[in-house]
Chain A
């Protein structure tokens, strides 16, 4: 009953410092045994993993599932399927839905929908402020009770330092991270891409990196003042990385994430007015890409998160300034991270798994992110050898807005296991 043996793979579990060819037996939704040559008992399903990497289930702590409100772009179900296809056993879902997920009932709805869908797990992030207006605090307590794991007004920046301070202070009751989309709205203005030579040539309004750096610095200072846990969403530029490094050294409880598109592409991807290269914060320069990779290598940036942001084809089929911000990423995140960072020489494989599983679990205090006995039976089986070409038309997501269509990459989930059950298999 409910037993799954994953056999013959290379087990890499950074938290338990394992990097060895080992079998892993899952039973009753938990890790039952790890060892060599484990026997197949009666009623045990076997998943052959010879030549594969077997890791704790990958966790994407920043996705937009668009439900409720934009079910034409994505639903909890399609988003969770896309997550499973990308090798993710869990995702944290952002609250900028319509209506906004700023109350207990809304959090409960998302969790129930995810359970019903039966693919990856969803841990909802609740809004910091009511209706994400940035003015008055939403009911954090109620949302925590319903299952929220963190708070964010993502999509928008909490612009008022006073509101952010109060939010951080209040969050101490629950000791959960307050996640900020770091972009000073007055400096962003009507900007649509990074401020620089490409914007000047294309005649597009630019957003300086300082719009991010200022908020990162400001909110790290507030985290120092309040003692709260502060998480920088989608860090995009070198200077922001320096700020996080500085405050971490001082002992402030700040963490940060970076997206694959930010460490794989520069502002040049916008050339030709490519709306699938438009997102917030925008793609930056080569120097920023280098700094992000270095930050991921030395741990200044704790984890990788996709900021999976589905948009309907019609909306991206527009002049650049009229298209919405955002690109999808669940089904390309591991491939890009592996190809650009591990094959690219910035990280070793074990560190990559730390960034994509161990750390997100630690930041959000989730069960998982490791495969010790008794841990949840969430496992990702990866093929890191076969080269493949990203084809957006084969995505499980309802949306197609990716800048990576046609790109040759290595690294792919071949099986995703949640609670001991295979929810995805290539």
Chain B
């Protein structure tokens, strides 16, 4: 009972109160520019929001009356519905716009579209775009809060945050953890956000894949570069397995999906040979049999579905904090370790 009371006390506060310790940024464009404090603030605030999603009535009124547009220029089921759930559970009014149905087809520029929407007085824009820097571009030109739901190869901050929440839940901390991102790192916004976020929080980060997808030049980001998955499985506490895209094969980055699976695919066999527990994450959607085998994807070492659950909570926290909500502190929130 005490748990519910403390959660509700945070969320039933009138919204006009601006507390001392507040999330001071107007936008969430990436994790590279956030401090460890800010990341911790978001993760801590996500914890009580997880509880709301477990209730019968999954709603709190904190964003009631706020209008949020989900502007998705790239297809997405997972991220968009996750944001939509987050927004609706916070009682915001949401509208979804996807590129193919939008005026982009008629040649309208990104800025014009956003300005038109803004003229209808929206509060927040959640944007996914194929061009790195598009959310930053938008944030410099409109007044609403801008949340990056993935821009080109640049960042996917809410994904990085939910990955960190999932790891923190399992291990109790992030500092000192050895986390390796496996797959097409060079083209991955998830990888970049993970790298910035985890390093900020004191984890040791590695990347693994063929040199065409994981060049040694990535060491400049402060990560360890591996080209053999066996070396990774011998050392890592957790791995984040990225999806391999078919298009990459066509640009001579690796010869076939079969070969990729043999060399880097996460299989029960490889895990058994490693002989240690490695936690397995995947941002989804999965190509079963390519970067991850089915038995692993459904097995005991993975936390893929927990990532999805944490995703909604993290997005609720981000929207809440950007709208001026009071962050939860670790002391207020009951421990939710698994």
Contact = CB atoms under 8 A, between A and B. Distances in A.
Partners in one complex: yes
Interface of A: 196-197, 200-205, 272-273, 314, 317-322
Contacts of A314: 109
7 contacts: A197-B221, A201-B221, A203-B133, A204-B132, A318-B109, A319-B110, A319-B137
B33 to A, nearest CB: 11
B60 interface: no
Interchain residue pairs A-B with the least CB separation, the first 9: A203-B154, A273-B133, A319-B131, A203-B153, A203-B132, A319-B134, A321-B131, A197-B220, A320-B133
A317 B111 contact: yes
Contacts of A272: 136
B137 A201 contact: no
A322 B111 CA distance: 13
Given A203-B154, A203-B189, A204-B154, 19 more contacts: A196-B217, A197-B217, A197-B220, A200-B217, A201-B32, A201-B192, A201-B221, A205-B153, A273-B132, A273-B133, A314-B109, A317-B111, A318-B109, A318-B137, A319-B133, A319-B137, A320-B131, A320-B132, A322-B131
B203 to A, nearest CB: 19
B109 A202 contact: no
B129 interface: yes
A72 to B, nearest CB: 16
Contacts of B32: 201
A317 B132 contact: no
Nearest to B73: A319
Nearest to A320: B133
Interface residues of B, number: 23
Interface string B106-126: 000111000000000000000
B111 A203 contact: no
B61 interface: no
A272 B32 CA distance: 13
Contacts of B189: 203
B152 A203 contact: yes
Interface in B128-150: 129, 131-134, 136-137
Contacts of B153: 203-205
A322 to B, nearest CB: 6
A314 B110 CA distance: 11
The interface centre, meaning the residue of B132, B192, B217, B218 with most chain A CB atoms within 10 A of its CB, is B132
B136 A273 contact: yes
Contacts of B163: none
Interface in B141-179: 151-155
A205 B187 CA distance: 9
Given A314-B109, A317-B109, A319-B110, A202 B133 contact: yes
B6 to A, nearest CB: 39
A318 B218 contact: no
Given A203-B132, A314-B109, A321 B152 contact: yes
Contacts of A317: 109, 111
Contacts of A273: 132-133, 136-137
Contacts of A205: 153
A206 to B, nearest CB: 9
A319 B192 contact: no
Contacts of A320: 131-133
Interface in B79-129: 109-111, 129
Nearest to B220: A197
Contact of A200 (B129, B155, B218): B218
A318 B73 CA distance: 14
A321 B109 contact: no
A273 B136 CA distance: 8
A197 B32 CA distance: 14
Interface in B212-229: 217-218, 220-221
Nearest to B140: A272
Contacts of A321: 131-133, 152
Contacts of B154: 202-204
B155 A203 contact: yes
A201 B154 CA distance: 7
Nearest to A270: B133
Contacts of B136: 272-273
A270 to B, nearest CB: 10
Contacts of A202: 132-133, 154
Nearest to B251: A189
A361 to B, nearest CB: 42
Interface in B183-209: 186, 189, 192
B147 to A, nearest CB: 16
A276 to B, nearest CB: 13
A265 to B, nearest CB: 18
A401 to B, nearest CB: 16
B129 A319 contact: yes
A203 B186 CA distance: 8
A272 B137 CA distance: 9
A350 to B, nearest CB: 42
Contacts of A197: 217, 220-221
Residue of A201, A203, A273, A321 ringed by the most chain B CB atoms within 10 A? A203
Nearest to A192: B132
B243 to A, nearest CB: 17
Given A273-B132, A273-B137, A321-B132, A200 B220 contact: yes
B298 to A, nearest CB: 32
Counting chain A CB atoms within 10 Å of each CB, which of B110, B137, B186 scores highest? B137
Contacts of A203: 132-133, 151-155, 189, 192
